[in-house]
Amino acid sequence: MPNVTVIPATRAIHARGPVGTTVRRKVAGYARVSTDSDEQFTSYEAQVDYYTRFIQSHADWEFVKVYTDEGISGLNTKNREGFNQMVKDALAGRIDLIVTKSVSRFARNTVDSLVTIRKLKDAGCECYFEKENIYTFDGKGELLLTIMSSLAQEESRSISENVTWGQRKRFADGKVSMPYKQFLGYEKGPDGLPKVVPEQAETVRYIFDLFLSGLTTFGVAKQLTAEGIPTPAGKQKWQASTVESILTNEKYKGDARLQKRFTVDFLQKKMKVNEGEVPQYYVEQSHEAIVSPTLFDQVQEEMERRKKLGRRYRSGSLFSCRIVCGDCGEFYGPKVWNSTNKYRRTIWQCNAKFKGDHKCGTPHLTEDTIKEKFLEAFNRLIPNRDRLIEDCRVMQTVLTDCSEIDAEIETMLGETEVIAGLVESCVNENSRSALDQTAYLARYNGLVDRYETAKAKVDALQKRRSERLKKADAIGGFMFALSERDSPLDTFTDGLWIDSVDLVTVHADGTMTFRFLNGSEINV
């Protein structure tokens, strides 16, 4: 039998010092509250004061400091500056023991909690959770921590679900809330509903007017920045994306689409745009409007038109991409003559007039000429106003009758469901039994191709339906513009032009053909 000699340990596994020696431990506290309300602030100050006195009351402890995070969630450690600094100091050897109220104060994410504690443990830093009476250097500490952290995470999940349920209940009841601190034009009223801020509302209307005058979102942003108008966040420089978000936000016409975004991960607080994963709620006339529904819809139609034109659209005027050359079909664009002297003026001519060997014979136009000819063409419609309006009603009825398209969509959706079921069965069969993989892949790919083809047909039908309804809306705007006039006009307005004109063709002899949104054509 071998002779075994026991060599006793001389150093503690985690403590910094020999076994049996008393070393003053460098101790820090950690305090966190998850909101910045007054009540929580009282709790926050109480925690700091308590742990300062608690640590200083131990003769063998050396007080380092109390690290704090105020108004920060414990679901992850990414944005907790106090917590991260504490861990950094501990790993650098400046802390031997961290004291905190409970596991849930430390972190409500099981993975974050355990990973951090193991890192601290490797660096010789212990954690003490007062409420649960857990020391992490204790043999049972990690098991208890895993259980307690999981419970804290489950509590967070439950709270998150309750909050989400409450929000969706508010949405379903039509209760509107806004991020008022960064929402231009509104503030929270005494009744809890959005209240218009007059000065900011003027800026909103100005943005809509600038866009309809021909400026792009980038051009509007540049104009607002030049004029020193502050952004919704109070900054000096405007971004095109901010302008676009204002122009497309239905809240400015008094409606509200609720739950545009939703939380997909309660731990990371990750948000995504709602693309049909969860219900949305549309509340009409939920609060006071800043712009009229008609103006808002005009902007949406103009934005859609410009997107279709792409790079062919040139910023600066509401005439952009509405006037074409009768010779070559190119759009007319603005050109500056005598730009450096007192005779400077802007004219409109074919963008391809001097391109290539062929020179277009169409004349240039001044803005005053365009406006004058438009009024002449529109005034010719007025004597036949009642008949034109009736024709428009018939056209609207035809366009809004989408029963055939809806039936086709329903048929194709049924087909996609059947194919999706076949794909699922194919995959399940392959997982249950050993199939010839070449045959399986050929069958699987064939089904996927069928599904993609059917889905493409559904998308095309839905696009066609949407375009018909938009055309019906445009005709509705034209009907309204026409019904408001019973005598010849002598003043040009941007809104009337946008509501009425589809396209203007300029011919070589100077004649201009105005095609209105109802399909009527007038030669001037």
Instruction: Judge whether 445 lies within some domain.
Output: yes
Q: Are 50 and 42 in contact (CB under 8 A)?
A: no
What b-and-e string marks burial along 407-424, b requiring 16 or more CB atoms within 10 Å of the CB?
ebbeebeebbeebeebbe
Residues 285, 329, single domain; the answer is no
Instruction: Judge whether 470 lies within some domain.
Output: yes
Give the residue among 319, 323, 315 at the shortest CA–CA distance from 350.
323
Give the residue among 226, 261, 266, 219 at the shortest CA–CA distance from 244.
219
d(CA 61, CA 28): 9
d(CA 44, CA 33): 6
Minimum mean pLDDT among 151-155, 159-163, 369-373: which range?
159-163
Residues 204, 324, single domain; the answer is no
Q: How confident is the model at residue 511 (pLDDT cuts 50, 70, 90)?
A: very high
Q: How confident is the model at residue 74 (pLDDT cuts 50, 70, 90)?
A: very low
Inter-CA distances, 328 with 310, 322, 427, Å: 19, 15, 56
Q: Return all residues near 109 (Cβ < 8 A) that are at least 6 apart.
A: 74, 75, 76, 77, 149, 153, 156, 267
CATH number of the CATH domain containing 128? 3.40.50.1390
Average pLDDT, the chain: 80
Q: Are 287 and 251 in contact (CB under 8 A)?
A: yes
| Domain end position, chosen among 309, 332, 348 | 309
| SS3 of the chain: helix, strand, coil, percent, to 5 | 50, 15, 35
- Report the run of H or E that residue 50 belongs to, with start and end: helix 38-56
Tokens 């790993």 sit at which residue?
Answer: 91
Q: How confident is the model at residue 169 (pLDDT cuts 50, 70, 90)?
A: low
Q: How confident is the model at residue 206 (pLDDT cuts 50, 70, 90)?
A: very high
Residues 323, 295, single domain; the answer is no
pLDDT over threshold 80, residue 82: yes
Tokens representing residue 282 in the block: 């549309």
Supply the pLDDT for residue 38: 43
Instruction: Judge whether 166 lies within some domain.
Output: no
Q: Write the burial class of residue 291 (CB in 10 Å: 0-12 exposed, 13-18 middle, 19+ buried).
A: buried
Q: How confident is the model at residue 506 (pLDDT cuts 50, 70, 90)?
A: very high
Residues 344, 457, single domain; the answer is yes
Residues 323, 351, single domain; the answer is yes
Amino acid code (one letter) for 322: R
pLDDT over threshold 50, residue 259: yes
Residues 233, 334, single domain; the answer is no
279 versus 171: the higher-pLDDT residue is 279
Domain assignment of residue 244, given as a range: 193-309
d(CA 418, CA 455): 12
How many domains does one find in the chain?
3
d(CA 349, CA 325): 8
Residues 337, 481, single domain; the answer is yes
d(CA 90, CA 124): 8
Amino acid code (one letter) for 54: F
Supply the pLDDT for residue 266: 44
| Domain end position, chosen among 266, 293, 309 | 309
| Domain end position, chosen among 280, 309, 338 | 309
d(CA 287, CA 453): 43
Q: Is 30 helix (H, G, I), strand (E, B) or coil?
A: strand
Tell me how crowded residue 202 is: count the other CB atoms within 10 A of its CB.
13
Encode pLDDT of 264-283 as tens digits.
Answer: 554 455 666 655 555 666 77
Q: What is the mean pLDDT of residues 228-244?
A: 90
CATH number of the CATH domain containing 410? 1.10.287
Residues 37, 85, single domain; the answer is yes
Tokens representing residue 477 in the block: 């705007």
Q: Is 117 helix (H, G, I), strand (E, B) or coil?
A: helix
d(CA 56, CA 47): 14
Supply the pLDDT for residue 276: 58
d(CA 298, CA 473): 10
What b-and-e string marks burial along 37-68, b requiring 16 or more CB atoms within 10 Å of the CB?
eeeeeeebeebbeebeebbeeeeebbbbbbbb
Q: How confident is the model at residue 176 (pLDDT cuts 50, 70, 90)?
A: low
d(CA 163, CA 322): 50
Q: Are 282 and 255 in contact (CB under 8 A)?
A: yes
Encode pLDDT of 411-458 as tens digits.
Answer: 999 999 999 889 888 888 888 887 788 888 888 899 989 999 999 999
Supply the pLDDT for residue 9: 60
Q: Are 25 and 61 in contact (CB under 8 A)?
A: yes
Tell me how far apart the terminal alpha carbons of the chain are, to the nearest angstrom.
Answer: 120
d(CA 245, CA 353): 37
Residues 458, 464, 465, 467: what is their CA dihedral angle, to the nearest 10 degrees?
140
Q: Phi/psi at 485 (nearest 5 deg)?
A: -115, 125
Encode pLDDT of 382-416 as tens digits.
Answer: 998 889 999 889 998 998 899 999 999 999 999 99
Residues 43, 135, single domain; the answer is yes
Percent of the chain scoring above 90 in pLDDT = 25
